[in-house]
């Protein structure tokens, strides 16, 4: 069964580039570019991360501010 991650809130300047990372943020995969009206935003965890129980969600806003959050999947 596919694992999902949902972003429920974001602060910053739209648009936002969304990445899914390992829990050290060394290995990241680009997911999508979203805007504020896309939230809540859900995406399927890529196959290469499905075996992990914890991942990092990294979001970079339009003025290059980085938001990081570790989540259990």
- Which pLDDT score is estimated for 12? 95
Q: Are strands 28-34 and 54-60 parallel, antiparallel or unpaired?
A: unpaired
- How far is CA 5 from each of CA 28, 49, 63, 64, rounded to the nearest angstrom? 15, 12, 24, 22
Local structure of residue 46 (DSSP, 8 states): P
Statement: residue 1 has pLDDT above 80: no
Give CA–CA dist 43/48, Å, rounded.
14
Q: Tell me, what's the pLDDT at 48?
A: 93
Cis peptide before 40 (omega within 30 of 0): yes
pTM of the shown model: 0.94
Q: What is the pLDDT of residues 30-50, one digit of tens each?
A: 999 999 999 999 999 999 999
């Amino acid at each position: 069964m596919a694992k999902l991650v949902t972003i429920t809130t974001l602060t910053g300047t739209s648009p936002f580039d969304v990445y899914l990372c390992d829990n050290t943020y060394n290995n990241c995969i680009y997911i999508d570019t979203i805007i504020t009206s896309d939230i809540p935003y859900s995406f399927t965890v890529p196959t290469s991360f499905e075996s992990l129980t914890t991942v990092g969600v990294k979001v970079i806003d339009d003025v290059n501010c980085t938001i990081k959050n570790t989540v259990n999947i």
